[in-house]
């Protein structure tokens, strides 16, 4: 029996307050910055944009995640957390999500 794959979701199907598994291309990466956390420590954070054939979504990378991807990389997010941020959906790995690199996107998908 072949190994099972988690169900994939398209960006256009994502809704806040849900876990989602999706494959997309890193369309944009912002500079890494540091923010102060609730407990007074600082943590690295980086905003990005993910896209697939159905749309785009904001993607937030925290801590060691900020160095994991480059623009143009194809990624799979497994059980990422979708939330509403300033009226728009945003995805992060949350507490239990995983980020897998699938390689570079074909040139036709890059922007």
- Residue 109, pLDDT above cutoff 60: no
* Res 6: pLDDT: 53
> Cα Rg for the chain, rounded, in angstroms?
14
Query: What is this structure's pTM?
Result: 0.82
Give the pLDDT mean for 84-93.
93
Using CA atoms, how far apart are residues 41 and 45, in angstroms rounded to an integer? 13
- Residues paired with 20 in a beta bridge: 80
Tokens of 111: 């922007």
Q: What are phi and psi of 57, to 5 degrees?
A: -145, 150
Tokens of 72: 């143009």
- Residue 3, pLDDT above cutoff 80: no
Tokens of 38: 């609730």
- Residue 89, pLDDT above cutoff 80: yes
* Res 9: pLDDT: 86
**3-class DSSP state of 107:** helix
Torsion angle (degrees, nearest 10) of CA 81, 16, 4, 64: -20
Q: Where are the domains of the chain?
A: 11-103
- CATH architecture designation of domain 11-103: Beta Barrel (2.40)
Give the pLDDT mean for 56-67.
94
Q: Please report, rounded to a whole number, the percentage of residues in the chain having pLDDT higher than 90.
A: 77
């Amino acid at each position: 029996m072949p190994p099972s794959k988690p169900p994939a979701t398209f960006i256009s199907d994502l809704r806040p307050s849900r876990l989602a598994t999706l494959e997309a291309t890193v369309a944009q990466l912002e500079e890494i910055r540091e923010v102060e956390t609730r407990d007074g420590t600082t943590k690295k954070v980086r905003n990005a944009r993910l896209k697939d054939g159905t749309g785009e979504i904001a993607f937030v990378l925290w801590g060691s995640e900020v160095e994991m991807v480059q623009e143009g990389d194809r990624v799979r997010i497994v059980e990422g957390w979708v939330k509403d941020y300033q009226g728009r959906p945003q995805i992060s790995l949350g507490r239990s999500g995983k980020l897998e690199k699938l390689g570079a996107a074909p040139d036709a998908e890059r922007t």
